Structure 1
Amino acid sequence: MLPDSHIHTNFSQDSSALPETQIDQCLLLGMKELCITDHHDYEGDAKEDSFVLDFDAYLPYMRRLSRKYADRIRINIGVELGLQLHIQEYLEKLAQNLEVDFIIGSSHFIDKKDPYFPDFFEGKSEREVYEHYFEVTLNRIRTLDCFDSFGHLDYIVRYGPSANRHYSFQAYQDHIDPILKALVEKGKSLECNTAGFRYGLNHPNPSEDILKRYHELGGELITLGSDAHSPNAIACEFGRMQAILKDCGFRYIMVYRQRKPHPIPL
């Protein structure tokens, strides 16, 4: 079983899964390596209901688990960092000082709202919202250096009002190509996130066409993650995804250890 490099636990506000439960599921699946990547979406103020990670509790706990399971599975410690330009200095300093293996950079909040909530789309056309999302994402990727892999590139499509009927890479290629080129130029990985299958999209995030285009543009660094918030989602559709990635031209996925990519053959 290929390593899962995007797993959440109850250190994330939107998961109730114990870290041990997630790890045990990976073992049941025959996995040899995984990465826990709990949310840290800091908006500049720590509100009670925000997705702010308690690093003082999280890191020691994960290190203990890494030692406990060391003879059965390699546990890499990561974080999913919400990218925001208005806290650039904070994010860059945090990434430099964090003793973790892997940082996923994601665009969750746009204009201080998450597309997860239906009112995100109110008063705007779906195309207008998607284009704005990709424009903001491009600016963040070009500006910030505090991440190793960019997470679920077309994340916003999970929540689009038309349930994906009008979305395609070709329809938004003028907005997506610059993002892919920026990742290649900066030597950043692109995450292949299989949660899209669970959301009924019938494709990963990003879609197969985007993965193929990334490879055409010279992209070789791919990380693979399920975005699992519960044990039954771990390694979701990894067998299917392995075949898709091979068809797109990839020979390896990357796992990050101490912020350095290591290839795992597909």
Structure 2
Amino acid sequence: MSIRSDYHMHTHHSGDSKAPMEDMIECSIELGLEEICFTEHLDLDYPTCYDDLPPEPFTLLPGPYREEYEKYKAVYGDRISMRFGVEIGMQTQVADQNNSFIEENGFDFVIASIHIVDGKDPFYADFWEQDTIENIYKKTFDTTLENIKCFDNFDVLGHLDYVCRYAPAGDTTYSYERFKDQIDEILKYLVSHDKGLDFNAKILSKDPNGMPNPCPAALKRFKELGGKIITIGSDAHRPEKIACGFDRMRDIALECGFTEYYTFEKRNPIAHKL
């Protein structure tokens, strides 16, 4: 495995993970990683309609998160580089709050993601009951473009086509080509504003032959349009998911024309050869 940095992972500081931070660090070291970045969730104004979640499940407490991060950085810093990151859930009505949160907390790295469209989460079945699947995809990409135009304080766009992970069983309507016009507008905006993409391996922890996010065709198009920065992350919420599928991720990135991937320190990108 030549990719030595996992730049998307979560611990118990995220509402959808129970993983101890120390376990994530130790597993990363065992896998031979040289650098990791914790990217805990902040999803303000997350919908309250889901009974399996506590109230405000993705409200991140930066104080305890920073304290534990610094504690383990002191313990493990001579064995692995650690970075302090966040995954911001974008919604236009909380853009100013998200920006203030980032400015106040000195993150090394910021992922901006779309997890909510029209007040619902694609993870849940009711999301897919709102409209036709094709219209839902179109709405999701329109929402993504709208949000990155009103919220600029991020380094990479998270899992661009995340929505396709949770499409109803048997659905095959998603492809870059089918939604090319909308996806290209997103990619062009990212390129023109020196933003990167989170190349996200989460699906590969369940299906080694699955399609990462963004799909290879969209990643290749990003490169063709002048895109430069990609970070590579497992989106692990448990230690055993760290660095999942990274050999395949490297192969795809190379096939799409990339020769480097990036890490960040104090919001500054650092290139590494694939």
* TM-score (normalised: structure 1): 0.96
Q: Write out the 4+ residue segments of structure 1 that deviate beyond 2 Å after TM superposition.
A: 44-50, 196-201
State how far apart, in whole Å, the 1-side matches of 2:63 and 2:252 are.
39
Greater Cα offset, 157-166 or 243-252: 157-166
Q: Could you tell me how far 1:84 is from its partner in structure 2?
A: 1.3
Q: Are 1:138 and 2:140 counterparts?
A: no
Distance 1:113 1:172 in 2: 21
1:13 counterpart SS class: coil
**Compared CA separation, residues 250 and 134, structure 1 to 2 (3 A):** same
Amino acid at match of 2:127: F
Q: Secondary structure at the match of 1:81?
A: strand
Q: What CA RMSD, in Å, does the superposition of the two structures yield over aligned residues?
A: 1.6
User: Aligned-pair distance for 1:93?
Assistant: 1.7
Paired with 2:97 and 2:128, the residues of 1 have a C-alpha distance of 29
User: What are the equivalent positions in structure 2 for 1:27-46 lying under 5 Å apart?
Assistant: 27-43=29-45
Aligned counterpart, 1:94: 101
**How many Å separate the matches in 1 of 2:220 and 2:250?**
13
2: CA distance, partners of 1:175 / 1:162: 24
Match of 1:177 in 2: 184
Q: 1:133 to 1:34 in 2, by over 3 A?
A: same
Q: 1:45 to 1:183 in 2, by over 3 A?
A: same
Instruction: Using the TM superposition, give the Cα deviation of residue 44 of structure 1 relative to its aligned residue in structure 2, in angstroms.
Output: 8.1
The within-5 A match list for 1:1-266 is 1-43=3-45, 48-200=55-207, 202-266=210-274
Q: Which amino acid aligns with 2:220?
A: K
Q: Structure 2 length as normaliser, TM-score?
A: 0.93
Q: Percent identity?
A: 38
SS of the equivalent of 2:226 reads coil
> Runs of 5+ in structure 1 lacking a partner?
none
Aligned to 2:51: none
- State the distance in 2 between where 1:164 and 1:35 align: 33
Could you list the runs of 5+ residues in structure 2 that have no partner in the other structure?
Answer: 49-53
Change (3 A) 1:24 1:52: same
Displacement of 1:60 in angstroms is: 1.4
Contact 1:152 1:205 in 2 (8 A): yes
Aligned length: 266
Question: 2:106 is aligned with what amino acid?
Answer: E
